[in-house]
């Protein structure tokens, strides 16, 4: 650490000396040499003093333009554009880089153009214009390939991959990161190798591939340790800790978080320390140690408030709301949820104020130009009238009267239109406020619904070789998974309620509560008996026994009970099957062909229990119909059951976590640009 500190000090001192030398000789320099000096000073001050850098870049542009000195004009715009990117003024940076590229295309600047396109891509990316950023990065890579500039190709590939990740296109994300990694190894660029390994970790983590993510994070950590890059070491430790936390290995996660915390405390890195505290809180929340979780969140909140990091404040308020909700202290939960909503709105407004000001400026400019154009037209018309005044006076009077009539009609229509627009704006505002309230309520409902789902750590502790792929269509879901444990059995269910979104979520709450009562309170454990009782409970809860009832809501589900010695499995299904794969062969056990709840024409509905003798290496799967029914592919057709079966058989050599990743990748690739049509739920268990 001390060595790095002194190297940085020497670097800054050297830059200052160069700057001082240039400033001394600047008065004696003339023409193009003076432009080059301004650009050199702008580059030196870019990492020291933005305002000084900006001043020198502006002077370089001004003098370079007056001298028609192309290289100086390009470099000046490059330097000023870079400062605008650093300061978040992306629209100004975009304008400058477009100007620089236009100048460069008129001369022999083939080596400079890829760098300019690369900076322009970055400006578009940070502005959130991913499509323009992607096109510019592709242009950068094409130009850099012609110039055999591997460093710029590497930067372009990294940029392309980051855009695809933002668009959740993980197949192209991985492709470009892998290509970039090959170039980085060829260049022996350890900083870039570590960065790409970290980014691959982020990609896998976002897509549910926690094991693969942890492997890439570990690779990045090893390189950062060799480079003695403390800040990046801390980030890698946090990432590995998050992976352990996601897998339910909370003690391991805490070890990595403690290492990261020590680094951030020594380096007085308050922002990352606050993030570290929120990660501690997440672990303690999962372990139901709510007082300790709250303590860490309050520490993080204090730091975030001090340094003005509203994104971290927002995370803290959201987590505190969730914890108090789990504790049943709904008043505090609502209070923190309100703070979370307020700060979310504040961040949104801040991000949009700049765009609104820019639009206003553009509007005023266009209005002035329009006014100038209108005045010019009036002058021309007046000249024409002066020449023909003697002969056209009569027609002028008639025309004037007609204009008055038209103005009156237009003005009257304008007033009507303005009133109508005002009413539309008022109605729009009312609808937007209502939509916000509804969305906030649904988001809060999601927290409540997620609270009833069993913790992944609880299931993985009992069944280590198990995965749950859960992809709701909307904010809240009509699918839910259920887990319970009796003295002799592990009980798992994949439940698909009528509909999705809010109606489905209501049904899921009813289903979850009834299953809990049937197993934990009534002590039923045979799958057929559980479904029989669940059917009666749903019909009673929705008053479907009444002759006047027209309610047809219900649910389909598959429920399994695995004996704790893993010798046998019991299964019952309502319109849903059980798949068992043994030695590469799939066996399909059908459930009964009627749902839980809904209309009942038979006198008594009875669900059957199927008993299956298990063998080591067997894999069993229960699921809703959302996966097979998803539209996609080249022809926009359903994925279909046969393709699901083939995918499961192909995945048998993989771990259960990797099977989940494969299933997730497969359905996302199939879906493409198509909308998800239903909730998706799949549970797999390896014996």
Q: Which helix (H) or strand (E) holds 493?
A: strand 489-497
Say what percent of the chain tops pLDDT 70. Answer: 81
365 inside domain: no
- Which structural domain range is residue 540 located in? 455-686
Q: Which two tokens stand for residue 508?
A: 């899921």
| Sign of the four-CA dihedral 35, 40, 44, 46 | positive
Q: Does pLDDT of 653 surpass 70?
A: yes
368 inside domain: no
206 inside domain: no
411 inside domain: no
pLDDT digits (tens, 9 = 90+) for 55-75: 888 988 988 888 889 888 989
Higher pLDDT, 418 or 636: 636
Residue tagged 């929705």 (tokens):
542
- Rounded Cα distance between 339 and 518, Å, is 39
Report the pLDDT value the prediction gives residue 26, as an integer from 0 to 100. 67
- Rounded Cα distance between 594 and 343, Å, is 48
Note the helical H segments in 68-109. 70-86, 90-105
Report the pLDDT value the prediction gives residue 361, as an integer from 0 to 100. 42
Q: Does pLDDT of 396 surpass 50?
A: yes
pLDDT digits (tens, 9 = 90+) for 551-587: 778 899 999 999 999 999 999 999 999 999 999 999 9
304 inside domain: no
620 Cβ contact partners less than 8 Å away, ≥ 6 residues apart: 560, 569, 578, 579, 580, 581, 684, 685, 687
- The confidence band for 622, taking pLDDT boundaries of 50, 70 and 90, is very high
Higher pLDDT, 365 or 83: 83
pLDDT digits (tens, 9 = 90+) for 113-148: 888 888 898 888 888 888 888 888 888 888 888 888
> Is the Cβ–Cβ distance between 568 and 612 less than 8 Å?
yes
Burial of 340 (0-12, 13-18, 19+ CB in 10 A): buried
CA nearest neighbour of 507 among 553, 573, 574: 553
CA geometry: angle 272, 274, 279, nearest 5 deg: 95
Total structural domains within the chain: 1
138 inside domain: no
- Rounded Cα distance between 512 and 509, Å, is 5
CA nearest neighbour of 336 among 301, 290, 309, 287: 301
- The confidence band for 344, taking pLDDT boundaries of 50, 70 and 90, is confident
- Rounded Cα distance between 322 and 139, Å, is 46
- CATH of residue 536's domain is 3.60.40.10
26 inside domain: no
- The confidence band for 439, taking pLDDT boundaries of 50, 70 and 90, is low
Q: Does pLDDT of 380 surpass 50?
A: no
pLDDT digits (tens, 9 = 90+) for 474-485: 777 888 999 999
pLDDT digits (tens, 9 = 90+) for 517-543: 999 889 999 999 999 999 999 988 888
678 inside domain: yes
- Rounded Cα distance between 57 and 66, Å, is 14
- Rounded Cα distance between 240 and 237, Å, is 5
């Amino acid at each position: 650490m001390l060595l790095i500190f002194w190297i940085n000090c020497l670097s800054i001192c050297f830059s200052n000396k160069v700057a001082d030398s240039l400033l001394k000789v600047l008065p004696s320099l003339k023409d193009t040499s003076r432009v080059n000096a301004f650009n050199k000073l702008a580059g030196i001050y870019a990492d020291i003093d933005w305002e000084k850098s900006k001043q020198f870049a502006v002077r370089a542009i001004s003098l370079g333009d007056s001298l028609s000195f192309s290289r100086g004009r390009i470099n000046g715009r490059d330097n000023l554009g870079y400062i605008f990117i650093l300061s978040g003024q992306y629209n100004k940076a975009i304008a400058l880089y477009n100007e620089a590229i236009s100048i460069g295309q008129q001369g022999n600047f083939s080596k400079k153009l890829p760098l300019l396109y690369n900076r322009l891509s970055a400006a578009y990316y940070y502005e959130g214009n991913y499509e323009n950023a992607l096109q510019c990065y592709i242009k950068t890579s094409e130009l850099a390939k012609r110039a055999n500039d591997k460093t710029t190709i590497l930067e372009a590939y990294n940029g392309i991959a980051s855009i695809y990740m933002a668009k959740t296109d993980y197949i192209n994300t991985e492709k470009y990161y892998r290509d970039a990694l090959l170039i980085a190894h060829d260049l022996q660029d350890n900083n870039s190798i570590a960065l790409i390994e970290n980014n691959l970790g982020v990609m896998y983590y976002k897509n549910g591939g926690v094991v693969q993510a942890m492997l890439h994070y570990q690779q990045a950590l090893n390189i950062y340790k060799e480079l003695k890059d403390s800040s990046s070491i801390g980030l890698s430790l946090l990432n590995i800790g998050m992976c352990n936390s996601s897998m339910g290995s909370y003690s391991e996660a805490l070890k990595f978080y403690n290492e990261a915390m020590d680094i951030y405390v020594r380096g007085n890195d308050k922002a990352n320390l606050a993030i570290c505290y929120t990660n501690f809180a997440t672990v303690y929340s999962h372990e139901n140690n709510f007082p300790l979780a709250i303590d860490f969140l309050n520490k993080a909140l204090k730091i975030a408030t001090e340094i003005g990091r509203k994104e971290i404040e927002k995370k803290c308020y959201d987590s505190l709301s969730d914890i108090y909700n789990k504790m049943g202290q709904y008043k505090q939960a609502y209070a923190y949820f309100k703070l979370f909503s307020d700060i979310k709105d504040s961040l949104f407004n801040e991000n949009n104020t700049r765009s609104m000001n820019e639009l206003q400026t553009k509007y005023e400019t266009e209005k002035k130009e329009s006014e100038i154009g209108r005045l010019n037209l009036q002058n021309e018309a007046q000249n024409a009238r002066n020449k023909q005044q003697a002969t056209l006076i009569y027609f002028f009077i008639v025309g004037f009267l007609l204009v008055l009539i038209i103005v009156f009609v237009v003005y009257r229509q304008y007033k009507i239109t303005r009133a109508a627009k005002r009413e539309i704006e008022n109605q729009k505002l009312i609808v937007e406020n209502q939509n916000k309230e509804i969305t906030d309520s649904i988001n809060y409902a999601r927290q409540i619904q997620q609270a009833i789902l069993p913790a992944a750590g609880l299931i993985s502790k009992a069944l280590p070789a198990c995965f749950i792929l859960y992809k709701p269509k909307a904010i809240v879901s009509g699918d839910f998974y259920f887990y319970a444990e009796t003295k002799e059995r592990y009980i798992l269910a994949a439940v698909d309620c009528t509909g999705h979104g809010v109606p489905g979520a209501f049904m899921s709450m009813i289903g979850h509560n009834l299953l809990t009562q049937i197993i934990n309170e009534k002590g039923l454990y045979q799958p057929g008996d559980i479904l029989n009782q669940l059917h009666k409970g749903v019909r009673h809860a929705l008053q479907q026994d009444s002759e006047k009832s027209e309610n047809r809501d219900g649910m389909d589900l598959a429920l399994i009970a695995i004996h704790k010695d893993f010798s046998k499995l019991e299964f019952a299904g309502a319109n849903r099957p059980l798949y068992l794969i043994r030695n590469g062969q799939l066996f399909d056990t059908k459930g009964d062909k009627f749902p839980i709840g809904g209309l009942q024409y038979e006198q008594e509905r009875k669900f059957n229990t199927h008993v299956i003798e298990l063998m080591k290496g067997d894999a069993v799967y229960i699921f809703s119909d959302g996966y097979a029914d998803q539209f996609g592919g080249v022809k926009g057709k359903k994925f279909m059951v046969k393709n699901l079966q083939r995918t499961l058989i192909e995945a048998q050599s993989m771990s259960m976590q990797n099977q989940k990743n494969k299933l997730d990748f497969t359905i996302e690739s199939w879906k493409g640009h198509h909308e998800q049509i239903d909730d998706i739920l799949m549970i797999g268990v390896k014996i």
